[in-house]
Structure 1
Amino acid sequence: MQDIVKLELREPVRVDPDRLVELCVSMGETRAEAMITTAMEELARGMVEIEDAYSAQNMDMLTSRGDILVKTARHIGMTTFARVADDVVSCARLREGIPLAATLNRLRRIADRSLSAVWDMQNLPG
């Protein structure tokens, strides 16, 4: 009998710390933190909306919400999240079911880790 190996799908996420610093410099630390927190809340809500659109097989809504995720993630330096969300949008536009399902699963993993990474960076002293 062969052993069953469970693959752990874990890829590094990239958050652009320079973008976070740029926001703090241009807006002031307090305003930047508030904006980043709001953006992270929007990303979390957007993920729920994308899940709902996927469940309903509403590709127009999925692409619309996905485009907003991409812009929001880029704005706060969540480069991996933005790239994978863009991949989801591309699959939805092409109506490619299996690639869409796989890419959406990848986005779920990346979203959790990216949001945690930005949250951790915000809580660093200094």
Structure 2
Amino acid sequence: MQEIVKLEMREVVRVDPDRLVELCVSFGEGQAEALITTAMDELARGMVDVEDAYLAQNMDLLSSRAAALVRTSQHIGMTSFARVADDVMTCALLREGIPLAATLNRLRRIADRSLTAVWDMQNLPG
């Protein structure tokens, strides 16, 4: 009998701390925190929109929603999230089903970890 090995996908999530500092300097700590919280809420809702568009196989809507994810995540320095959301958008625009499914799975993993990373950075003292 052969042993089954389960592979876990782990990938480094990149968040630009300089961008978070930039937001704090530009808007003040309180406003920057509110902006980041709003952006994170938008990203969470955007992921639901992307999932819904994928399930409906509406590639135009999916690419549009993924583009919104790119803009929002770039704004708060979530570089990994932005890059993978851009890859999802490209796959949807090209109507590439199998790469889209794989890239969307990657975006799900990155989204969870990126949102946690930004939240953790936001709560650091200083």
User: Normalising TM by the smaller chain, what interval?
Assistant: over 0.9
In the superposition, the TM-score normalised over structure 2's length comes to 0.99
Once the two structures are superposed, the pairs formed by residues 22-101 of structure 1 within 5 Å of their partners are 22-101=22-101
Find runs of 4+ consecutive structure 1 residues off by over 2 angstroms: none
Question: Match of 1:117?
Answer: 117
Deviations 1:44-102 (A, max 9, x none): 00000000000000011101111000000000000000000000000000000000000
Deviation at 1:3, TM superposition (A): 1.2
Deviation at 1:119, TM superposition (A): 0.4
Distance in 2 (alpha carbons) for counterparts of 1:122 and 1:13 = 15
Question: Match of 1:2?
Answer: 2
Structure 1 unmatched ranges of 5 or more: none
Number of equivalent positions: 126
- Among the aligned pairs, what percent are the same residue? 81
Distance in 1 (alpha carbons) for counterparts of 2:16 and 2:122 = 12
Q: CA RMSD in A?
A: 0.5
1:16 is the counterpart of 2:16: yes
Distance in 2 (alpha carbons) for counterparts of 1:95 and 1:9 = 25
